[in-house]
Amino acid sequence: MKQESKVSLIGAGNVGATIAYSLAMNGSCHEVILVDRDEERAKGKALDMSQSASVARSHTVVKAAESYEEIAGSKVVVITAGSPRKPGMSRDDLLMVNAEIMKEVILKVKHYAPDAIVVIVSNPLDAMVYTALKIGNYPRNQVVGMAGILDSARMASFIQEKIGQGFGQIRASVIGGHGDDMVPLPRYSTVAGIPLTDLLTAKEIDEIVERTKRAGAEIVGYLRTGSAYYAPAKATAVMVESILKDTRQIFPCAVLLDGEFGGYTDTVNGVPVILGENGAEKIVEVTLNECEKQLFRKSVDSVNKLINTLKEKNFFGENK
């Protein structure tokens, strides 16, 4: 393990705390710092996790920060802070309130941990990645959003449910924005290397694609008072571990585009990237057919509407 393996979590709610727990149990880093407006809650969760780490004989130490100064020296900072999505509320509804929260947080992160790779989990995801990049004036490799890993995992679970076999051998692929306009790619999805199109009918694949798009809302509907956190947290932990260990694995992540996938610029969307110690080290451009290109264009347009709303309100001020 690399010596530099301190991770800070901004937001100790369900998602943030579960990310911290996953990292602590795996011993992925030497120290986890929890930052939360409710300091007492963060202290209680940190103490509980530290004791859990002792049970697991993990060397990871979990602490609650009394101020942002304690995130100094972090290799990775994960931001989950934001207003939660409630039943009937779209991710778009969260735009302005969570943009203000992101602005407040990212200025502190940039001040105390300027070299940290920043992983965004807050919704609406793609717009929050863009906000962090612009407010923090970061190079694009330094800020990545967690979405594609989660969406791909959800698609894989629905494939598993549909075919009833190949457990652990399913690889699903989803790109695009994290929302209703995500772009599941059945052509790049396999079971033990067998193309999904050889195993299921077009109708069955369409059913999986549509359920994948609604997966988050489906869970919100069942929970009634919250949203998903186990899968989002595990997906984020996988990203953090890839950065800490410099595995340079390819994951779908939300990043700033600069001419890729047909010339899109100054926008954020989910695409395959090589994720290593320097963050999003390289975008991997996959070949899309005409239908997939149209869906990806729709996804970009959807994210751009949010970005343009922020610009129209002069949200970025001198940072735009």
What residues are annotated to the active site? 178
Q: Are strands 249-258 and 61-64 parallel, antiparallel or unpaired?
A: unpaired
Q: How many C-beta atoms lie closer than 10 Å to residue 51's C-beta?
A: 10
Cβ(53)–Cβ(62) below 8 Å: yes
67: tokens are: 């101020």
Helix 230-245, helix 148-163: angle, nearest 10: 120
Report CA dihedral (135, 141, 145, 149) to the nearest 10 degrees: 180
Cβ(75)–Cβ(6) below 8 Å: yes
Helix 202-213, helix 215-223: angle, nearest 10: 50
